[in-house]
């Protein structure tokens, strides 16, 4: 179809995820004889952003179909900003459970125009179309406020502003096919309902991003007791592998293996598949817990490996860094200067560990306190970064910092109580300053990198509120709702370019890891019997009798 020459009264703005709802609304508006436009009417002979600019300059009302995905859509935001600049009336139409209080300013100030949109009820859709028709009749068309030459300059400026995003937006908006499906495999026969109540959504192109980068992403949820591995199938689908572990926390990818901390164990999960081997025709890697240490309940947080391959971890309950022991629960290797005793009391909530040149370099704590549970009183601004070698605080006044990581010669971390990703500037001087780069709509915890991308974990509030933290104020100011999942942040711009979201039973994540060179992984847990039948043999071993054995 070509672009209508006559002015239209209604412009439909929507995200690609909501195309079915937008199409149904467009059909109802046509039956109601409302002059409307949506992007199914784009002409192939003209740049689509210019067509949209022209329609918006002539219409009366913009109807915004708003789902959670639409609220994060850059293109929907751009269309609404253009409508606001043109002085147009905006009618938010909420779908997929979005509530009015979740809308960002100024949309949340339009309560009378917020209309629920049942996707499957044609009668309700027709009623909505009639409401829109009646509303349009009360609105006078706004005359152009600029000269024709000024309008041309405005169009050129708008086109330049959107040039960087035009390629992927055009591809998304002109495709009629839905995004690739998410395949979810929950391998353990469960005795709970978490697998049934967790719902997964992802940004369009996330699977393609993983495939192009030749990576997978893993993250742990101690709250739901699950290890998630995200990969891409050869046909371009997003594969989600979910396995049950007892309170998994720290997760670290190193030397082709995964190091995973749980309630009372530290496991090394090895990939049992060789190059070119596939399990069940779907998985390029399968991680099995081959080595495990019974540490007891240490409230283990971050884990890592040294240059020699030894495991090192944060024993939060004992306020120290530790390594494994073949005899005992752990071997302490360092504790902050302000911790007077090695006792089973979480005094400062030591949680994060950054390794540099193969050795522990920096640690994060919620407060520099030496009394059991005192750190909770300083959560808002008591957070610190400690230089392990100098045993000195090198950055302070943070809000519940987590996940310090060295990347590109910088120490990055998550200022979780503010929902921020950033780095510490001037850390070598001993008076470092946190520099925020990106904000995430949730309690930021879990951080990994791939080239110039940061993969950040997000969690929802544990007690339905972030009161007392800067994060609560930022969410209220932006009108956003905290959510659980991961975001891929482009460090060059600070923008979220991809995301994976979990709704339902899973509310909190702890750690994130990037699996380089891994296409489609899965794992095996120690909590079921599947590993008992998954037998593999070391192909490099030669059966026979050792020469040192005599009759």
Taking only the tens of pLDDT, the chain with its 551 residues reads 333 335 688 999 888 777 888 888 888 888 888 888 887 776 655 556 677 777 887 788 888 888 877 877 777 877 887 777 677 788 888 877 777 767 776 666 664 445 555 544 556 777 888 888 888 888 876 554 444 444 444 444 444 444 444 444 444 444 444 445 677 776 543 444 444 478 999 999 999 999 999 999 999 999 999 999 999 998 889 999 999 999 999 999 999 999 999 999 999 999 999 998 998 888 999 999 999 999 999 999 999 999 999 999 999 999 999 999 999 999 999 999 999 999 999 999 999 999 999 999 999 999 999 999 999 999 999 999 999 999 999 999 999 999 999 999 999 999 999 999 999 999 988 899 999 999 999 999 999 999 999 999 999 988 766 778 999 999 988 888 999 999 999 999 999 999 999 999 899 999 999 999 999 999 999 898 888 888 888 877 666 544 333 32
Placement of tokens 């899973």 in the chain: 506
Same domain? For 156 and 212 the reply is no
Residues 6 or more apart whose CB falls under 8 angstroms from that of 26 comprise 12, 36, 38, 40
Say if residues 228 and 220 touch (Cβ distance below 8 Å).
Answer: yes
Identify whether residues 217 and 94 lie together within a single domain: no
501 falls within a domain: yes
Per the listing, tokens 């780095």 go with: 423
Residue 63 covered by a domain: yes
Q: Tell me if 547 is assigned to some domain.
A: no
Is the model's pTM score more than 0.85? Answer: no
Ramachandran assignment for 194, one of left (phi > 0), alpha (psi -120 to 50 degrees), beta (any other):
alpha
Residue 459 DSSP SS3 = strand
192 shares a domain with 128: no
- Looking at 174, 203, 218, the residue that finishes a domain is 174
Q: Whole domain around residue 18: which residue ranges?
A: 10-174
Domains: count for the chain: 2
Tell me which of 130, 157, 174 is where a domain ends: 174
- Specify whether 146 is located in the same domain as 259: no
Beta strands at 215-221 and 512-516: parallel, antiparallel or unpaired: antiparallel
User: Which of 152, 174, 196 delimits the end of a domain?
Assistant: 174
My answer on whether 141 and 237 are in the same domain is no
The answer to whether residues 173 and 205 touch, using CB atoms and an 8 Å cutoff, is no
Q: Within this chain, do residues 423 and 375 fall inside the same structural domain, yes or no?
A: yes
Query: 397-417: buried (b, 16+ CB within 10 Å) or exposed (e) per residue?
Result: ebbbbbbbbebeeebbbbbbb
- Provide φ and ψ at 171, rounded to 5°: -60, -40
List the one residue out of 325, 312, 186, 309 whose CA is nearest residue 257: 309
Helix (H) or strand (E) holding 388: none
């Amino acid at each position: 179809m070509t672009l209508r020459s006559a002015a239209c009264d209604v412009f439909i703005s929507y995200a690609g995820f909501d195309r079915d709802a937008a199409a149904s609304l467009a059909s109802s508006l046509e039956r109601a004889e409302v002059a409307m436009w949506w992007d199914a009417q784009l002409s192939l002979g003209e740049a689509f952003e210019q067509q949209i600019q022209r329609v918006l300059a002539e219409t009366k009302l913009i109807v915004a179909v708003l789902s959670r995905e639409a609220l994060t859509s850059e293109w929907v935001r751009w269309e609404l900003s253009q409508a606001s600049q043109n002085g147009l009336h905006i009618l938010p139409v909420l779908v997929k459970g979005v509530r009015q209080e979740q809308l960002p300013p100024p949309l949340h100030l339009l309560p009378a125009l917020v209309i629920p949109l049942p996707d499957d009820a044609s009668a309700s859709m027709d009623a909505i179309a009639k409401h829109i028709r009646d509303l349009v009749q009360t609105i006078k068309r706004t005359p152009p406020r600029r000269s024709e030459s000024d309008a041309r300059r405005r169009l050129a400026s708008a086109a330049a502003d959107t040039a960087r995003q035009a390629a992927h937006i055009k591809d998304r908006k002109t495709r009629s096919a839905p995004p690739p499906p998410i395949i979810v495999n929950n391998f353990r026969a469960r005795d709970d309902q978490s697998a049934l109540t967790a719902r997964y959504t992802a940004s369009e192109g996330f699977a393609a991003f993983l495939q192009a980068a030749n990576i997978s992403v893993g993250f742990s949820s101690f709250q739901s007791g699950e290890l998630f591995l995200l990969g891409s199938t050869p046909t371009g689908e997003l594969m989600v592998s979910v396995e049950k572990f007892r309170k998994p926390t720290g997760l670290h990818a190193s030397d082709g293996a995964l190091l995973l901390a749980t309630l009372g164990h530290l496991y090394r999960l090895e990939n049992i598949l060789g190059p070119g081997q596939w399990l069940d025709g779907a998985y390029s890697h399968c991680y099995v817990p081959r080595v495990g240490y019974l540490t007891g309940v240490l409230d283990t947080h971050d884990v890592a490996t040294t240059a020699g391959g030894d495991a090192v971890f944060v024993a939060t309950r004992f306020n120290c860094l530790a390594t494994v022991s073949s005899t005992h629960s752990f071997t302490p290797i360092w504790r902050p200067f302000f911790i007077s005793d090695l006792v089973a009391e979480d005094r400062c909530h030591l949680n994060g560990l950054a390794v540099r040149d193969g050795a522990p370099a920096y640690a994060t704590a919620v407060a520099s306190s030496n009394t059991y549970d005192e750190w909770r009183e300083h959560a808002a601004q008591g957070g610190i970064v400690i230089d392990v070698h100098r045993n000195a605080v090198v950055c302070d006044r943070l809000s519940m910092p987590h996940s310090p990581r060295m990347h590109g010669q910088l120490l990055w971390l998550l200022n979780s109580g503010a929902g921020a990703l950033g780095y510490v500037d001037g850390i070598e001087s001993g008076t470092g300053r946190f520099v925020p780069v990106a904000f995430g709509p949730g309690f930021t915890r879990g951080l990994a990198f791939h080239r110039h991308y940061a993969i950040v974990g997000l969690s929802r509030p544990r007690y339905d509120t972030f009161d007392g933290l800067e994060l609560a104020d930022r969410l209220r100011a932006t009108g956003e709702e905290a959510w659980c999942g991961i975001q891929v942040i482009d460090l060059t711009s600070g923008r979220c370019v991809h995301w994976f979201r979990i709704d339902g039973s899973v509310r909190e994540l702890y750690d994130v890891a990037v699996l380089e060179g891994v296409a489609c992984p899965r794992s095996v847990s120690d909590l079921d019997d599947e590993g008992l039948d998954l037998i593999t043999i070391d192909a490099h071993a030669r059966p026979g009798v050792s020469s040192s054995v005599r009759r």
